[in-house]
Structure 1
Amino acid sequence: MKTVTILIPAYNEAEVLHQLYNRLTFVLQKISFYQFEILFVNDGSKDATLEIIKNLREMDGRISYIDFSRNFGKEIAMIAGLDYVKGDAVIILDADLQDPPELIPEMIRYWEEGYDDIYAKRRTRSGETMFKKWTAKTFYKILKKVARIPIQENTGDFRLLDKRCVEALKKLRESQRYTKGMFSWIGYNKKEILFDRDSRAAGVSKWNYLKLMDLAIEGITSFTTAPLRLSVILGSIVSMWAFIYMAWIIFKTLLFGESIAGYPSLMTVMLFLGGIQLLSLGIIGEYLGRVFNETKRRPLYFVDEYNGQKESNSSTNKSDVPMNI
């Protein structure tokens, strides 16, 4: 009998966990011929999330949990979950119920047909502002143009991954992660299913605009060097026009004796060139910062507790955990 792991990163989701468990178990009890593991990753929650997960585990032996030593972020929570999963396939599911568990049977059906990565694409995005929808659409449009891999638009982390996709993702150990791009980067046989995304069942979103902007920068700098190339092109164009303007000023002064432009034009040129230089330095700094963080080779995360047992953290890559129960 095959095993499917439901991987659920959770950060301060105490208000929704019981509702999530009820809907999820209602769906799973209708699916026969499979064993299920429900793996929660508690990402340093400050509320009662961990206590609720432990109580649910006492009621349901299919539940496992990882408790981080602190908050490491959702991207790290997902790779930690992949390190610990025991299933032949993994379904990544958000705890806030914006990703409907009712799609799980369809995902498993396509998996049995031979697809390795069955991802859910949002047809509509309920509960989001027009500005957020516009910024998301604009970001995906830019990323698809500059990235060298196909980027799946309007898709999140809600998907089923075959065991070989999981093993491929576990080999990507960079500390600054954009997992949505990694799903595309590893390739394999993909299948799209559409769904209407609901509003959060309870609580508030952990993603403010500042965090979303940071995630967007991670996405662009992780999968393309186009910003660096853009700064080179922009610098070359500005330098060319600056040289032409300089030649024109010298020509007018020597041949016609005209006075050199005064303070306003001088300040305009200086501020423009200074802005271009700072922009280029900022782009270079983003990539240099990524190199600096990766060269430190720090572990991606530390686990305080796994299923009631304190972890020694002698290794943060659980590649030795068997994939089959």
Structure 2
Amino acid sequence: MKTISIVVPVYNEEANLEHFTQAIYDVMAKMSYEYELIFVDDGSRDGSRAILQKLQDKYDWVKPLLLSRNCGHQIAITCGMDHATGDAVITMDGDMQHPPALIPTLLDLWEKGYDVVQTIREATEGVSWFKKTTSKYYYRFLNAMSETEVYPGGSDFRLLDRQACDALCQYREHDRFIRGMVGTLGFSQAQVSFTAPERFAGTSKFSVKKMSKLAMDGILGYSVVPLRIAFYLGSLCALFSLLLFAHVIVEYLLGNVLPGWTTIMVCVALFSGVQLMLMGVMGEYVGRIFKEVKNRPLYMVMEKRGDYTHGKARKVEKVELGE
């Protein structure tokens, strides 16, 4: 019998965990699969860990992993995939905005031969106009700059075949944008559209700061275009400065030189701003290189709860297509 691993990152979700677990049970109990539900607690500060212990005592297919600190949503998903041993791995959030009722559809497409089944969020109930608009144009901007296509509305609710999951687990960069990483795998992929309902309880843990970081990871992690833009912008500014210099020489020869304090200040401010911007872009890339060369672990698992005899972390080895 095939086994399905469901990976769910958790951060201060005490109000959602029991309801979500029951929803998973209601769906999976009707299907002919063995399954495990891997909750990765990402350093929660509420009662999430106590609830996970209660769920693990009640259901042997619930397997909590407790990280030593908050590492971020994308790292928590990675940890869960590293430990999952199912023939297929489904990643999703536990706030019910990724509907468990959609799981049979993902599995059906997987059984038809697709290695990756990606869900596409067409709309989200209760989301502000600002978030919808920024998300829409962010994906357009990202795809215009990157060689890897990321589907607009793509979410972290997806199914990965065992081979695709093992391949993705070989990606060990620290600043992770899994939606883009999946697009680089090259496996056969299907898409499923859905409308995300409102959260069952609580509020979103994705602050503007976290969303901005994820957006930056998507842009800088899969494109060198910002560096090229910096070069082109610097070239244009250099050309502009030469034209300005030529203008000053002509005015000097014509005897029309007047005190130009305002012009000087405007030019200094303009070029200083451009230089700082270009240094900032390069600094972002250098900072990411600095993180990678230290080669520190992506995460630390403080405690594994449940039976991991058949669900222990696998050594991630190189996967060749066709194995």
User: With structure 2 as the length reference, what TM-score do the two structures score?
Assistant: 0.94
* C-alpha RMSD of the superposition: 1.6
For the residues of structure 2 that align with 1:17 and 1:30, how far apart are their CA atoms?
21
How much has 1:237 moved relative to structure 2? 0.7
The secondary structure found in structure 2 opposite 1:22 is helix
For the residues of structure 2 that align with 1:238 and 1:49, how far apart are their CA atoms?
54
For structure 2, which runs of at least 5 residues remain unmatched after alignment? 318-323
For the residues of structure 2 that align with 1:260 and 1:163, how far apart are their CA atoms?
74
Structure 1 letter corresponding to 2:148: I
Match of 2:4 in 1: 4
For the residues of structure 2 that align with 1:146 and 1:101, how far apart are their CA atoms?
34
Structure 2 letter corresponding to 1:3: T
Match of 1:323 in 2: none
Determine if the alignment matches structure 1 residue 267 to structure 2 residue 265: yes
For the residues of structure 2 that align with 1:274 and 1:64, how far apart are their CA atoms?
54
For the residues of structure 1 that align with 2:35 and 2:297, how far apart are their CA atoms?
29
How much has 1:260 moved relative to structure 2? 4.4
For the residues of structure 1 that align with 2:235 and 2:10, how far apart are their CA atoms?
47
Match of 1:37 in 2: 36
Task: Tell me, yes or no, if the aligned pair for 1:119 and 1:155 is still in contact at 8 Å.
Answer: yes
Match of 1:20 in 2: 20
Task: Tell me, yes or no, if the aligned pair for 1:249 and 1:260 is still in contact at 8 Å.
Answer: no
Specify which of 304, 312, 316 is matched with residue 319 of structure 1: 316
Task: Tell me, yes or no, if the aligned pair for 2:9 and 2:77 is still in contact at 8 Å.
Answer: yes
Structure 1 letter corresponding to 2:280: G
Task: Tell me, yes or no, if the aligned pair for 1:178 and 1:219 is still in contact at 8 Å.
Answer: yes
Structure 1 letter corresponding to 2:44: S
Match of 1:176 in 2: 175
How much has 1:275 moved relative to structure 2? 0.6
For the residues of structure 2 that align with 1:208 and 1:302, how far apart are their CA atoms?
24
Task: Tell me, yes or no, if the aligned pair for 1:300 and 1:316 is still in contact at 8 Å.
Answer: no
Distance 1:21 1:308, change over 3 A: closer
Matches within 5 A, 1:105-120: 105-120=104-119
Structure 2 letter corresponding to 1:319: V
For the residues of structure 1 that align with 2:260 and 2:69, how far apart are their CA atoms?
58
How much has 1:209 moved relative to structure 2? 1.2
- CA deviations on 1:270-305 (whole Å, 9 max, x unpaired) are 101111001000000000000011011101111111
Structure 2 letter corresponding to 1:127: G
Task: Tell me, yes or no, if the aligned pair for 2:114 and 2:189 is still in contact at 8 Å.
Answer: yes
How much has 1:265 moved relative to structure 2? 1.1
Match of 2:143 in 1: 144
The secondary structure found in structure 1 opposite 2:179 is helix
User: What is the percentage of aligned positions where both structures have the same residue?
Assistant: 36
How much has 1:309 moved relative to structure 2? 8.9
For the residues of structure 1 that align with 2:192 and 2:276, how far apart are their CA atoms?
43
User: With structure 1 as the length reference, what TM-score do the two structures score?
Assistant: 0.94
Match of 2:153 in 1: 154
How much has 1:53 moved relative to structure 2? 1.1
For the residues of structure 2 that align with 1:279 and 1:101, how far apart are their CA atoms?
44
Structure 2 letter corresponding to 1:14: E
Aligned residues: 314
- CA deviations on 1:179-238 (whole Å, 9 max, x unpaired) are 111011112000001111111110111111121111111110000011100010001011
For the residues of structure 1 that align with 2:175 and 2:152, how far apart are their CA atoms?
21
The secondary structure found in structure 1 opposite 2:13 is coil
Task: Tell me, yes or no, if the aligned pair for 2:62 and 2:306 is still in contact at 8 Å.
Answer: no
Structure 1 letter corresponding to 2:58: M
For structure 1, which runs of at least 5 residues remain unmatched after alignment? 321-325
For the residues of structure 1 that align with 2:258 and 2:28, how far apart are their CA atoms?
79
Matches within 5 A, 1:206-285: 206-254=205-253, 256-285=254-283
Structure 2 letter corresponding to 1:224: S
Task: Tell me, yes or no, if the aligned pair for 2:170 and 2:316 is still in contact at 8 Å.
Answer: no
Structure 2 letter corresponding to 1:272: L
How much has 1:29 moved relative to structure 2? 1.2
Structure 1 letter corresponding to 2:316: S
Match of 1:73 in 2: 72
Task: Tell me, yes or no, if the aligned pair for 1:146 and 1:224 is still in contact at 8 Å.
Answer: yes
Specify which of 290, 293, 300 is matched with residue 291 of structure 2: 293
For the residues of structure 1 that align with 2:28 and 2:182, how far apart are their CA atoms?
25
How much has 1:319 moved relative to structure 2? 3.0
